[in-house]
Amino acid sequence: MEKIAFIGLGIMGIPMCLNLIKGGHSVYANTRSQVNEEIMASGAIICATPKAAAEAANIIILIVNDTPNVEDVLFGSNGVSQTDLTGKLIIDMSTISPVATQEFAQKIKALGGDYLDAPVSGGDVGAKAASLSIMAGGSDNAFQRALPILQLLGQNISLVGDNGAGQVTKMANQVIVALTIQAVAEGLILASKAGADPEKVRQALMGGFANSRILEVHGQRMTSGNLTPGFKVNLHQKDITSALNTARELGAALPGTAIFQQLLSGCVARGGSDWDHSAIVKVLEDMSNHSLTGHD
């Protein structure tokens, strides 16, 4: 069994950390927020800083919410890099800049460690069920070392290239998820405004070519009005901003993605930064003067 540092206990991090503990590993946990009661009761060893967690572990996993936060965890005054990294593997499961990821990996390797970027998809549902899709970037040696750990967290686990490739793959994932959420919302609003029951329409479409996990999960959120976050508006907004910035640098056209970003901004304007990202349906409802649930 491994000694694992786990840094970042948010919506995704809590169930992922618990799954590692269930797998029999010793976990040294660190978070900037208040420690969740489940983590406290799980047997995890709570560490005051990323440095303290990294000192105790052979494998260091982090899942935090943006590039600057990853940089701080790794290279801040009480960061991971303040301990001896010789022979240690860092697995960054956050969703951040591919360019920054390559820079971070080079710095960690220069300090004697190894580095795998391994962002995830599947939301809190996948994190709890240990069914996440994990897209990794790094060496084959780093990937093979990480694989038994990653298999406790997900089911579809792929090495897609060198450091940064995992983040590029996740960026593409976030674009595809965004436009599928938008398509589901638009389709359900069209059907509902025409007089059909949107929930019955959703169920009917799940038997055809339009079926998807987003129609299944997020479509149900839309028809029930459940905005409890599995993945928050502000986090998807961060990811889409990164995708659009990268597209601009590369000269790639992402017109639909730009529209989705504006719908997310509409959620924020309504006070919905912490809503589930399927809440873009609320903005489309306003534009259509029609509610799927019959109330605001």
Instruction: Give the up-direction half-sphere exposure of residue 259: CA atoms within 13 A in the CB hemisphere.
Output: 13
Q: Model pTM?
A: 0.86
State the pLDDT at residue 90: 98
Q: How far is CA 260 from the centre of its chain?
A: 18
State the pLDDT at residue 250: 86
Instruction: Give the up-direction half-sphere exposure of residue 50: CA atoms within 13 A in the CB hemisphere.
Output: 26
State the pLDDT at residue 34: 85
State the pLDDT at residue 230: 84
Give me the residues of the chain with pLDDT under 70, please. 295-296
State the pLDDT at residue 295: 55
Residue ranges with strand state E in 16-63: 26-30, 45-46, 59-62
Question: Which residues carry out catalysis?
Answer: 170
Q: Which domains does the chain have, with CATH numbers?
A: 3-162 (3.40.50.720), 168-288 (1.10.1040.10)
State the pLDDT at residue 83: 97
Beta-bridged to residue 121, according to DSSP, are 133
Whole-angstrom Cα distance, residue 235 to residue 232?
Answer: 5
